[in-house]
């Protein structure tokens, strides 16, 4: 018992010595803040393919998609009677989204409790967890993609040699609207100089 009291007072003296350190409270707050930041930004072994939402974003696909649209539109629009040489620029809103396949695991637990008065209460707990389906091939792991959602079109600018003719300009506008499903307010047509 005496040795326990002695240990207690020795530990207490150590605490008192630590408290005497100049700016102890500030150092303690800084250490706690650092620990919180480390926990906040820690990766915890999460895989990039298993994000918390159901999609992955890929910006290089966005650029490829816009370039493909511009090439095809330029080719088609230049075939309009009177349009002449045509250049097109398409801007996209967002990025390509990949919708992943997930597995869902559900566990149900039921418990019945009977009190001393004879009343019975039933408690049911359902635990659900989801995780992406991963395909392993050739030493690499990739998530199973169900579908790909292309980015929406924000705007289209068309430069055409024949755009000074109102009929040609209207034909170009109708073609762009039909091909891309955009409104007239998203399309601007100018004379190519």
Tens-place pLDDT, residues 114-131: 777 778 878 888 888 888
| Residue pLDDT, tens place only, 166-193 | 999 999 999 999 999 999 999 999 999 8
Question: Residue 18 CB: number of other CB atoms within 10 A?
Answer: 11
Please tell me whether the overall predicted TM-score, pTM, comes out greater than 0.85 for this model.
Answer: no
Structure tokens, 46: 């999460």
- 157 with 190: CB under 8 angstroms? yes
Give yes or no for residue 38 having a pLDDT over 80. no
Nearest CA to 174 out of 57, 80, 66, 92 is that of: 80
Q: How confident is the model at residue 15 (pLDDT cuts 50, 70, 90)?
A: low
**How far is the C-alpha of 95 from the C-alpha of 88, rounded, in Å?**
20
pLDDT at 54: 38
Concatenating the DSSP letter of every residue in the chain gives: -HHHHHHHHHHHHHHHHHHTSTTHHHHHHHHHHHHHHHHHH--TT--TTS-SSSEEEEHHHHHHHHHHHHHHHHHHHTTSTTT-SEEEEEEEES-EEEEEPEEEEEEEEEEEEE-TTS-EEEEEEEEEEEEE-EEEETTEEEEPEEEEEPPEEEEEEEEETTTTSHHHHHHHHHHHHHHH---GGGEEEEE--
CB neighbour list of residue 148: distance below 8 Å, 6 or more residues apart: 96, 97, 98, 99
Structure tokens, 184: 């007239």
């Amino acid at each position: 018992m005496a040795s326990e009291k002695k240990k207690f007072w020795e530990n207490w003296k150590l605490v008192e010595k630590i408290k005497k350190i100049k700016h102890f409270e500030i150092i303690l707050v800084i250490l706690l803040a650092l620990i919180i930041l480390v926990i906040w930004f820690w990766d915890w072994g999460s895989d990039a393919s298993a994000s918390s939402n159901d999609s992955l974003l890929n910006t290089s696909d966005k650029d490829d998609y816009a370039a493909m649209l511009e090439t095809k539109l330029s080719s088609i629009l230049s075939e309009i009677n009177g349009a002449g040489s045509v250049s097109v620029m398409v801007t996209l809103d967002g990025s390509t989204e990949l919708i992943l396949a997930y597995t869902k695991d559900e566990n149900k637990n039921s418990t019945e409790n009977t009190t001393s008065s004879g009343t019975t209460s039933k408690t049911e707990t359902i635990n659900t967890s989801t995780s992406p389906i991963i395909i392993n091939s050739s030493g690499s792991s990739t998530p199973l993609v169900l579908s790909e959602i292309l980015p929406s079109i924000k705007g289209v600018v068309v430069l055409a040699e024949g755009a000074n003719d109102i009929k040609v300009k209207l034909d170009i506008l109708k073609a762009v609207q039909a091909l891309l499903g955009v409104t007239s307010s998203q399309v601007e047509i100018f004379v190519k100089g």
